[in-house]
Structure 1
Amino acid sequence: MLETSKKLFERAQQFIPGGVNSPARAFKSVGGTPVFFEKAEGSLLTDVDGKEYIDYVGSWGPMILGHAYEPVIEAVRETAGRSTSFGAPTEVEVKMAELVRQMVPGVDKIRMVNSGTEACMSAIRVARGYTGRDKIIKFEGNYHGHGDSFLINAGSGALTLGQPSSPGVTKGTAQDTLTADFNDLNSVKQLLNEYEGEVAAIIVEPVAGNMGCIPPKKGFLPGLRELCDAHDVVLIFDEVMTGFRIAKGGAQQRYGVTADLVTYGKIIGAGLPVGAFGGRREVMDEVSPVGPVYQAGTLSGNPLAMAAGFALLSELNKNPRHYDELEEKTTYLFSGLKEVFEAHEVAASINRVGSMISVFFTGEEVIDFRTARSTDQRLFKRFFHEMLKNGVYLPPSPFESWFLANSHTELLLDDTIAAADTAIASALSE
């Protein structure tokens, strides 16, 4: 099992730090060898040894209609035949901006970039330029990419590796990043009062996905909006995961709260390397060449990524029933997993929002970074590998959300639930 993956991983470690090009792929928190994949279709992955897996990673979110979705593949083929890049404007960039404006409340203008990290870094710079202030507030366990400002009590890969911060982040940068507790408005109020007139922006994952899926408490997001208005602070929603996934208009539509700026990645390019940030006209007009805040990228608005993303978002915009079906499928999986863990008398807290879902092996309700850390990581590690043996590919960390696609059929969901039954029994017997 995984023989070819093991050989490839050994080769990779000689030339690539840790053998991977992103730490989240390294299997550090679960142990073992990362699986190398060769192809995918729908919700099935095939590894380099020819074994099939039911996929709940979905390239970390963008494959909402499944891998190798034909309209996306055809758009990439057709565009690549004309060139992979121009370094100059193209019509599809305009069409994409118009489509996002149509789908998302509060986005008057949008700038395409090359990753979610770049989008979040740029949004922070724009907020600072717009307000003339230096400090930002982020939330413990939220992850906004590997920009220096964000690697303070970060989630996701940094959390998995036991490195809430990172060497290389200067003391000055760290001093300008204030950390509050997710789902706790009082912690935000205290910081805003203590640093009155110094905070440029609050950046938040409206649904946390990088310490596992953690929904916002009722009133949390509206409360952030009110605090930002009261203190003249820019509210930034990091929708790299939630954008176009939990609703057509993302978290802003789902929760009825409009941010000043919103960031995207992954899904806006249907899985190709891409990101974007957008928001209110007066804030976005700070961005060069209109305003003084510099931001640029040779490959920004890459025609392949724009064509792929436009094909995917057009389908989601045209057929919002996809979201109803995803809700139904996620609820079905939730119910099945809940029955399995209850039958085995396993303490498990299962969180879900839309087509995002996470299993925490804890008897405590998971609402923030502290409660997320209460999960039994050793049990998750055993469960993960047993699921892998049974042909189910989960995110290789207890601190990542699972993602469903509309290509998950009822049969695949039933197979997943059956695999979980076998996997937890085996994990408990170890």
Structure 2
Amino acid sequence: MTASLGTHPLRTLTTALDPATLGELGVTGPASLLNGTSASDPLCWLRRGEGLLGFGEIASFTGTGPSRFADAEQWWKELLVLAAVDDSVRMPGTGAMAFGSFAFSKTSAFESLLIVPALVVGFSGGMVWLTQLNLDGTVPTPESALALLREELLREAATSPERSTPDTPSTGTVRSGALTEAQWKETVAAGVEAIVRGGLDKVVLARDVVATFPEPVQRVSILQRLASLYDECWTYAVRGLVGATPEILIKVDGSTAQARVLAGTLDREDEPAGSTGFAAAVLGGSAKQRQEHDFAVRSLTRQLAPFATDLSFPAEPFILELPNVWHLASDVTAELASSNGHLPTSLALVEALHPTAAVCGTPREDAGALILELEKMDRGPYAGPVGWLDGAGNGEWGIALRGAMLEDAHHVRLYAGAGIVQASDPAAELAETWAKFRPMLQALNLPNHP
């Protein structure tokens, strides 16, 4: 574990931004702010034009191994002990807050992260706020926070007048990562064989591909396109990790927790012309897809139950329609139980819930061991928790799906997976991964299939 801190206690100031100031700055929403600050490579958590954008970095935590969640939680609590928080807005995500990304596996070499930004712009329910955070001993003021935002806007306006992703196809190329397509289908067959032998109900197997570009990749352009094309998803960015996930591991707002479970997938390109009710018939009527979804829901509710006084989820999943795929989806809600006068924090729940059956399998330990044996790669942050937390214990943590790692200026590693059950067909599961690669391929202006 490593951590960077200043020599002074954390200070934060959160103030609402009035419409006149927003108009003067040319800020009409997150998209306009992304357009104006691309040189900063912002931290990002956005959906439907709402969420959080963070700029700069005043403190960070990195850790690996089985204790990465507990170590991060302890670091965050220590940072908050002497914190001076001035927050007139008082909403989830205001005051002291940090963005985070955690490795999928406790064996991963990838460093899990918490990052405290210097500046946060928040959008929620028609309100816009600005939070300045520092560790240098100075007292933030509304004027100093606004000056920081102006600096971000002016710096990029002077260096890069054109930041949008071009509509013309990219000249980038895509190649297989750890396994070729043929090898990965053999891996799926091995997963099915393990299930047939007994003791394992489901395993989620992932694969990677690597995109290479002659010109430097523009990170903010990826975020712009994902936020525009996949408005129903949560567009995220924490350092080199970017993506747009449809799945929420846990959201905590006071004493209420929510999760969205996805399992069961149908490619929208498979829909026959002129058909109606295609997704409901194929997904809802598939025993294989319903079984996969049921495993995922039961896994999450079983892990969440010890932290809740009341837990509810629908008897039947609904069809979630995204631009690339349909999913079977279930929204789970819980009233959190207090322990010694304290509610569990969002990060404590992340540790308890991760990994779910939707990204690992069931039983969890057996599925995790098989993943390490068969995938021949380190997932890094793929399918790990990504999101944010604040000083009150609130937070939103998605599962890092439909995403990629920007490994350097010219190479991007994309990840996608599929839930394997006894009825799985390797060729169909391979096709499903290409459907799940599609959001990032679109964001990179690459064709869906090389």
Fold in common (TM above 0.5): no
- Which is richer in helix? 1
Q: What TM-score do you get using the length of structure 2 for normalisation?
A: 0.29
Instruction: Normalising by structure 1, report the TM-score.
Output: 0.30
Instruction: Point out the structure with the larger strand share.
Output: 2
